[in-house]
Structure 1
Amino acid sequence: MPENLNKNLINKYDLTIGSFYFYNNFMVSEVKKGVTFSVENSSELFKLIEKHFNKNTPFFYIANRKNSYSFNPTGHYEFIELFPNAKAFAVIAYDQLSIRIAKFEQSFIKAPTGIFDNLEDAIIWGKEKIRSH
């Protein structure tokens, strides 16, 4: 995480599926290499999201894809049902394959989505989406 972002960090959680950073109106995920990230193995994460954002606080989700992992894109439907206050999704992609996967996943998300090559731009974009909502 960038140094200036750490001072705004509310909490960091290291779970079996990855590390998750929570801020006022957004969260950043860094899923571990080789994990199959799914709704089924995210119950602990979902409890943390509810704790930090409940069902009323608008937030955006940033997937910092530093590592290669599997994800079923239809899981976005269930995520939105559980957290209708998730107003935008950003992906930080580090190579062309990650960009292509993120573009494919956009078709499964019924909220604004963005693909970025750095965390700072993703945060600025997400904050604009929250303000305009």
Structure 2
Amino acid sequence: MSPKINKQLIQKHELDIGDVYFYENYIITEIKEGVVVNFEKAAELLRLGKEYYGNKIPFVYISNRVHSYSFEPTTHFKSTELFPNLKGYAVVTYNAINNKIAELEQAFLNKPANIFHSLDEAIAWAEKLIIRD
């Protein structure tokens, strides 16, 4: 019998940079249009991540890119150091330009990463990463 993932929303937070949805083993972010995300701007998101997952609870970060925004990919280096329990990084894109940007960002990741065209696909992938761990 394989373990089950709890798909029930734990908490939604509306931050300056966008909306963040916390689940038992994954986080979904929807960053606001036009925001420039860097390590400093992501500080509240990172603080909340520590609050929910600490250093022990395995989780996957899912970026649901429903809006256009900028991201400094070197932020990945600092943020992944904070979360040894981060198991993977998924990006959901809805157009070819965002897909290309996500492909470039993957060069900055040292965790499993994948690009999807639907949120359901990203969640299914996240669940597989958590269950196999």
Give the TM-score normalised by the residue count of structure 2. Answer: 0.93
Matched AA of 2:114: G
For 1:74, the equivalent position in structure 2 comes to: 74
Runs of 4+ aligned residues of structure 1 deviating over 4 Å after TM superposition are none
For 2:125, the equivalent position in structure 1 comes to: 125
Query: For residues 23-102 of structure 1, what are the structure 2 equivalents within 5 Å?
Result: 23-102=23-102
Q: 1:130, CA displacement in angstroms?
A: 1.3
Matched AA of 2:74: T
| DSSP 3-state at the match of 2:84 | coil
For 1:4, the equivalent position in structure 2 comes to: none
**In angstroms, what is the RMSD of aligned CA positions?**
0.9
Residues paired across the two proteins, number: 127
Distance 2:98 2:31 in 1: 14
Q: 1:132, CA displacement in angstroms?
A: 1.7
Identity of aligned residues (%): 43
Consecutive unaligned residues of structure 1, counting only runs of 5 or more, are 1-6
Consecutive unaligned residues of structure 2, counting only runs of 5 or more, are 1-6
Q: 1:45, CA displacement in angstroms?
A: 1.0
Write the deviation string for residues 62-106 of structure 1: whole angstroms up to 9, x where unpaired.
000000101011111111111111110000000000110011111
Matched AA of 1:118: S
Distance 2:116 2:86 in 1: 18
Give the TM-score normalised by the residue count of structure 1. Answer: 0.93
Matched AA of 2:11: N
| DSSP 3-state at the match of 1:39 | coil
| DSSP 3-state at the match of 1:60 | strand
